[in-house]
Structures are given as C-alpha cells and as structure tokens.
Amino acid sequence: MSYSVIYQDIGLKEFKEAWEYQEKIFAELVEKKRRSNQGNITLNDSPGTLIFVEHPHVYTLGKNGSENNLLVDYLQLKAKDAAFYKIDRGGDITYHGPGQIVGYPVFDLEAIKIGLKEYIYLLEEAVIKSLKDFGLEGSRLAGGTGVWLEAENKGKARKICAIGVKVSRFITMHGFAFNINTDLSYFNNINPCGFTDKGVTSLEKETGSRQDMEKVKNILKGNLQEVFSLEWTN
C-alpha cells in the first residue's frame, strides 16, 4: 500500500522560516492523526509532506551535539553572512547553503509501518540510488549516518549527504542535506557531524562539472518515491 505525500519545493528560504513551516505541518499531521485514531477521519486524509528547500548560509547544531564543533565565533559567522541555530534534531553540527538539496520529510512512520532505523536507512538508500545516475558509488559508514564515498577508506572517506532527524508520535521532522553545487569552504568552519578525520564533498566536485539542480531533484524525488512506496497527492 502506498503512502500519500504532498511534494513541495519551496525554493530558497531562511532556515528559521522553513523550520517554523515544518513545525506547522508537523502539528497539523499530529492533530489529523489524533482525530483519525478517534474515528473521525482516515489515514488517507492525513498525507505526509516532502519539502525540498535551499537555505542561505547556516550552521545547525543537533540537540546532542557539541558547540565546540563550531570553529568560528559569532562575529566571524556574521562576516561570512552565516547564521547559527541550536535545533531539536539528532546528530551534531552541519552546514546548509545554496547549491544543496535539503529535504524535510514530515512522514507518519506508523502509517508507513517502519521504525526509525529503517527510515534513516531508506533515506540513505534513496541518495545512494541517485548517486548511481552520476556514476558514483555511495555507501554507509559504520557509526555514522548519512551517505559517504569511500566510507571505509581511511583518509579518503568523505560525506556527500548528511542526515539528522527528529521523531515524535511516530512523525518525522528535519531530514537530509545533499551537497550538489555546494560551496564546500563553509565546512572548514566546523567539524562536520562531529568528525575531525573525515572530509565532505559534493556532486559537482566528484563529477567535475556543475550540476542541474532541477535534474538532481527529480532523480532524488523519484528514488524517494520508490524506496518509501510514495504516492504524490495535492
């Protein structure tokens, strides 16, 4: 059985604005689910939402992360035209910026009938499948979420997609950040995801050419649809 999902590409949005928008959708889905459990509506009336967005330069720190992994002070952040937020997802610190596909699935895992571990695995799987379209072999790293290239090759492991999520009442928030045409110099200001011995990369860097964002979005959207058995709805 497919899970109905509304797809929204909201373009370039400040992180805080997109976060508040996510929270609104999350609260509405929680309320619809509560009413469904009372027999007032059915789960078919409670579709999930998949948001694609790009953010202006921003660093976000997960609830269990260390602020020591931010390697610049607030004045230096301002000089780099970057914002900083402590947020309620898992994971440590990461960077979001133009040229990066940030995905925020607001899904009901109970309706999909999967747990958190499988949810993260499937997010990774959709990115791994998408990389194959560009001749790249993505993989997972033991002890670290996200998608990597040469994950087990010491000194060469580099992350191309970070994942950090929140789940409450089986409903998800936050999600993934897939580096496409990302300015990787901004990662020099942090220990990405808390790692000090691993690098970051982008699709542009790995392929040697700037990528069409819309093309990559369509490929990724299709793979998310496949791995989660999604049905797009309005």
Tell me the catalytic residues. 193
> From CA 209, how far away is CA 17, in angstroms rounded?
31
Distance CA 94, CA 96 (A): 7
CA nearest neighbour of 230 among 87, 60, 103: 103
Tokens of 66: 């260390």
Helix (H) or strand (E) holding 130: helix 116-132
Residue with tokens 């993989």: 139
- Count of beta carbons in the 10 Å neighbourhood of residue 11: 8
